[in-house]
Amino acid sequence: MGKPTGFLDYARVTSDEAAPKQRIKNFNEFHTPLSLEEQRTQAARCMDCGVPFCQSGLMLNGMASGCPLNNLIPEWNDLLYNGNMEQAYHRLHKTNCFPEFTSRVCPSPCEAACTCNLNGLPVSNKENERSIIEYAYKHGLAAPNPPQVRTGKKIAVVGSGPSGLAAADQLNQRGHSVTVFERSDRIGGLLMYGIPNMKIDKKVIDRKVEVMKEEGVEFITNVNVGATPKMVDGTQMQAKKAGDLLKEYDRVILACGASNPRDIKADGRDGEGIYFAVDFLKAATKSLLDSGFKDQKFISTKDKHVLVIGGGDTGNDCVGTSIRLGAASVTQLEMMPKPPSERADDNQWPEWPKILKTDYGQEEAIAVFGHDPRIYQTTVKEFIRDKNGVLKKVKCVMLDWKKDPATGRMNMSEVPDSEYEIECDIVLIAAGFLGSQEYVTKAFQVELDGRTNVKTEQDHYATSVDRVFVTGDMHRGQSLVVWAIREGREVAKAVDESLMGYTNLQ
C-alpha cells in the first residue's frame, strides 16, 4: 500500500470535461486527463483492502460487483502511486487486453464496489487505468511483441468486436495463427460503429489493431461469413461459407455479437422516419470517418424533433449524437420507473448501485433544451403518420409497475386514460438486442438457447458443433465491453486447451 492515509488525505479528483454547449460542436472526446503527478495522487487513495471487492467480479443479485476481468486494481494503483509505470502496465495488461478501451467506455463496476464508497467517494480506477495505458503507448511499453514460436495451428475468429479481438490477441500470443473476419469495412464491431466517437476516438481502436497486425494477427474486412451471395453487395462485401472456414482452419470462434435489435410492435411501425439506434449510430460514425459528414450518408436530425425509445447507454448515445447533428429537440422514453437518487435499503454496497445516472447525452440535452429529455414509465402505443406515410407524431401511454406477490416479479400494465401525443419527425429505437443473427447460426448449424444465444454447457464455450466455439454477446446476450473481453479471454483458453491438450493462457 503506497500511502496508508491516502484515502483520508486526498479528495477524489477526476479529469476536466468540456462544457456541454462547447463539446456538442464536434464529435471529439471531451475529457482532458489529469497530469501524471495528479493521477499518482489519485492512486494514493487506494486502500489496498484486505478484501478488495473492486477486483472480485462477483455476481450479486444478478449484477456484477467489481471488475469482471478481475483486474489487479490495488496492485497497479500502488505501482502508479510509486511511479513504477512499467510494472503498473504489466500488471494491468496481465488481465486486460484492452485497457485503452475499458478506460473510456466501461461503467466502472470496480468503482461501484470500492470500499471508499462506504463513507465517501471511490478511487478513480478508470482514470488511473487510462493514465497507465497511455503512458505505456507514449513510452514504448505497449509496442508490438510478436510470439517467438508458432504452433502451426490456424484459428478463424468471426467478428471483430471486443470479444473477438480479445480471443484473437490471446491465441496469437500463444503462437497460433489467427485470422479475424469482419463484415464491416473497419475493425472493431460495436466499438467502432456502435459507440460514438466522443466516447471512444476510433484512432484508439486503430492504434491497437495496428499493434495486433504487427504481432501477426490477420484481419480481413468486408467478408460476411455465413451469408449467401444474394445477401451481400458484391462490390462492397463478399460472402464466405461456414463450411469453407471449417475446412481451412483448425478451430472457428463465433464472436458476431447480439445483433438483432429489439423492435417496437405498434401500429404505424412501417412509417417513414423510424430507425433502429444501431443503424443511426453506425451511419453517423461511418460518415464522420469517411468524409467528415460531407458524403451526407447519415440520418440527419438537423432541425428535426427526435424521439429516442430506450433509456440505456445506446439511447443516451442517440441523444448526444442527435444534438451534435442539429436536432431541434430530443425526447427519451424509458419504460422503467425513475431510479432513486440514493441507494435503496435492498441495494447496499458492494452491489451495483441502482440509482439515477445522468449521462453525457442527458447533460447536453439539459444544457441545450433546458430540461432532462427522459420521460419514465412510458411507451409508444402508435406511430402516427401523415397521408404520405411519413412519421409526424407518436401516441404514448403511461405504465404502471407492480410486484407479483406470488413470483416476486414486476409486472407492467397500461395506466387507464393516460394516453398522450408527442410530435416528432424521427424515432430512434434503442430498446436493446435479442440475440444472435439467424443466418450465422444456421450456417454453422449450432444449437441455440431460449434467448437465441448460441448454447453451450454452463461456463463453457464449445458449441454443439465440433471445432466451433462461441464468445461474447453471441454467447451471453447483450452486455458490457468488459464482459466481452472477459469472454474473449475465456474462449481463448478453451480453444487453446482443445488444440494443445493444456493451456497456459490466463
Tell me whether residue 105 is exposed, middle or buried, using C-beta atoms within 10 angstroms of its C-beta: 0 to 12, 13 to 18, 19 or more: middle
DSSP label at residue 271: S
Q: E strands along 440-491, which residues?
A: 468-470
Do 308 and 327 have their domain in common?
A: yes
Residue 461 lies in a domain: yes
Three cell numbers, residue 351: 452491489
Q: Looking at 429, 452, 482, which one is the last position of a domain?
A: 429
How many residues are present in the chain?
Answer: 506
Q: Is residue 411 included in any domain, yes or no?
A: yes
Q: Say if residue 253 is in the same domain as residue 342.
A: no
Chain centroid to CA 268? 31
Neighbours of 206 (CB within 10 A): 15
Beta bridge partners, 331, equal 307
Q: How far is 384 from 136, CA to CA, in rounded Å? A: 54
DSSP state of 230: G
Instruction: Give the dihedral of Cα atoms 318, 20, 101, 486; nearest 10 deg.
Output: -60
Q: Report if pTM > 0.85.
A: yes
CATH of residue 116's domain is: 1.10.1060.10
pLDDT reported for residue 105: 97
**Same domain assignment for residues 278 and 425:** yes
> In this structure, are 280 and 413 located in the same domain?
yes
Rounded Cα–Cα distance for residues 479 and 488 (Å): 13
Provide the pLDDT for residue 235. 66
CATH number, position 280: 3.50.50.60
Under 8 Å between Cβ of 126 and 106:
yes
Helix (H) or strand (E) holding 412, with range, is strand 410-414
| CA distance between the termini of the chain | 25
423 shares its domain with 439? no
State whether residue 371 is helix, strand or coil.
Answer: coil
- Residue 328 maps to a domain: yes
For residue 451, tell me if it sits in a domain.
yes
- Let me know whether 123 and 244 are in one domain: no
**Cα separation, 268 vs 282, whole angstroms:** 24
Which residues have CB under 8 Å from 266's CB, separation 6+? 380, 381, 382, 383
Q: Are strands 426-429 and 391-403 parallel, antiparallel or unpaired?
A: unpaired
Q: End of a domain among 414, 429, 444?
A: 429
End position of a domain, from candidates 374, 396, 429: 429
DSSP class per residue in 55-75: GT-EEETTEEES-TT---HHH
What is the number of domains present in the chain?
A: 3
SS3 356: coil
**What is the model's pLDDT at position 1?**
63
Q: Is residue 268 one of the residues assigned to a domain?
A: no
CA 104/CA 360 separation, integer angstroms = 13
Q: In one letter, which amino acid is 380? A: V
Pair 35, 117 in one domain: yes
| pLDDT in the model for residue 51 | 87
Q: Is residue 148 part of a domain?
A: no
Q: Could you tell me if residue 126 is inside a domain?
A: yes
Together in a domain, 424 and 300: yes
Q: What is the pLDDT along the chain (506 residues), one digit of tens a residue?
A: 668 899 999 999 999 999 999 999 999 999 999 999 999 999 999 988 888 999 999 888 888 899 999 999 999 999 999 999 999 999 999 999 999 999 999 999 999 999 999 889 999 999 999 999 999 999 999 999 999 999 999 999 999 999 999 999 999 999 999 999 999 999 999 999 999 999 999 999 999 999 999 999 999 999 999 988 877 776 688 999 999 999 999 999 999 999 889 999 999 999 999 999 999 999 999 999 999 999 999 999 999 999 999 989 999 999 999 999 999 999 999 999 999 999 999 899 999 999 999 999 999 999 999 999 999 999 999 999 999 999 999 999 999 998 888 888 888 899 999 999 999 999 999 999 888 999 999 999 999 998 889 999 999 999 999 999 999 999 999 999 999 999 999 999 999 999 999 999 98
Q: Tell me, yes or no, whether 404 and 301 share the same domain.
A: yes
- Whether residues 22 and 65 share a domain: the answer is yes
Does one domain contain both 423 and 442?
Answer: no
Tell me, yes or no, whether 143 lies in a domain: no
Query: Residues 224, 77: one domain?
Result: no
Boundaries of domain holding 124: 6-138
